[in-house]
Amino acid sequence: MVVIFDMDGVLMDTVAIHWKAYNDLLQEKFGVTVGNEDLANLIGMSLGEQIPILNTKFGINIDAETFVPLADKRKEKFMDKLVPKDGVVELLRSLKDSGVKMGVGTSTSRITAEQRLKNIGIHNYFSVIVGGEDVTIHKPDPEVYELVASQLGVKPEECVVFEDAPNGIEAAISAGMKSVGICTTYTTGEKLSRADLMVNSLEEVTLETIQMLLKRK
């Protein structure tokens, strides 16, 4: 049994921080704001992938080379406020004590992911961290989760993925893995309905929950 976590929005609430920074900048530069409904369709993509969608949606012309560094610089001001989401540390500790292998598969760059995981004190729980630069195609393509499984030396059917985004759930399904959808203010149960299980928080998840999920046909 292997457990794979998306990072942003699952292990830490970086999504809220990202979009506070991005929306502030979008409002300043273009007079637009991305609401929760649109945000649900963007979660799991890199900012570089999101920009063409935002340009089309709002009829604006964001220049990625200019906007991305500004957005990244702005959001970093908020990152010192990051903490693990509710239930994260308890679940990770329980899984580690039971000998369960764990990995992270994220669209965020691996270097950034490693630093943030270290900053909130949970980096050492993960044997493998795969970031955006390690894959050629991002979620909903399954490559990121297939690569985590490959590096851990396990088959896809041995893996359970924790995700907060529809694209991430689709990636897990395409990889042949079980999935748990974490409901948030921007991704409700309806958006995550293709997950094998939906929860409101990792506080609801135990080792037994994961074991039962893997036994399902």
Q: How far, in Å, are 23, 63, 64, 67, 179 from residue 47 at the CA level?
A: 12, 12, 9, 10, 24
Q: What is the average pLDDT value for the chain, to the nearest integer?
A: 92
- Whether 149 shows a pLDDT value over 80: the answer reads yes
- pLDDT grade for 191, boundaries at 50, 70 and 90: confident
Cα–Cα distance between 101 and 3 in angstroms, integer? 6
- Does the structure show a pLDDT above 90 at 35? no
What is the edge-to-edge ordering of all strands in the sheet holding 159-163? 128-130, 101-105, 2-5, 159-163, 178-182, 197-199
Q: Which residues, 6 or more positions from 129, have their beta carbon under 8 angstroms from its beta carbon? A: 103, 104, 106, 110, 113, 114, 117
Residues 133 and 72 in one domain: no
pLDDT tens digit sequence for 115-130: 999 999 999 999 999 9
Model-level pTM greater than 0.75?
yes
Q: Are residues 70 and 104 in the same domain?
A: no
Average pLDDT, integer, range 25-44: 86
Q: Among 148, 149, 161, which residue's Cα sits nearest to residue 192?
A: 161
Counting residues of the chain whose pLDDT is more than 70, the rounded percentage is 100
Do 209 and 145 share a structural domain? yes
Same domain, 199 and 107: yes
Q: Give 86-118 pLDDT, tens digit per residue.
A: 999 999 999 999 999 999 999 989 999 999 999
Same domain, 133 and 75: no
Domain final residue pick, 54, 80, 106:
80
Q: Say yes or no: 43 and 9 in one domain.
A: no
- E strand spans, 41-149: 101-105, 128-130
205 pLDDT band, cuts 50/70/90, is very high
pLDDT at 43 over 90: no
Mean pLDDT (whole number) for 205-209? 97
- Name the nearest CA neighbour of 108 among 140, 146, 135, 148: 135
Number of helical (H) and strand (E) elements in the chain, helices listed first = 9, 6
Average pLDDT over residues 151-174: 96
Final residue before a domain boundary, out of 27, 46, 80: 80
Among 34, 49, 80, identify where a domain stops. 80
CATH number for the domain including 156? 3.40.50.1000
Q: What is the pLDDT of residue 105?
A: 98
**Residues noted as catalytic:** 6
CA 34 to chain centre: 19
Q: Are 109 and 135 in contact (CB under 8 A)?
A: no
46 plus 147 within the same structural domain: no
Whether 105 and 148 map to the same domain: the answer is: yes
- Give the structural domain span for 205: 2-13+82-215
Question: Same structural domain for residues 133 and 96?
Answer: yes
pLDDT tens for 47-61 read: 788 899 999 999 999
pLDDT of residue 29 exceeding 90: yes
Q: Are residues 133 and 211 in the same domain?
A: yes
**Domains contained in the chain, number:** 2
Are 134 and 175 part of one and the same domain?
Answer: yes
- Together in a domain, 43 and 91: no
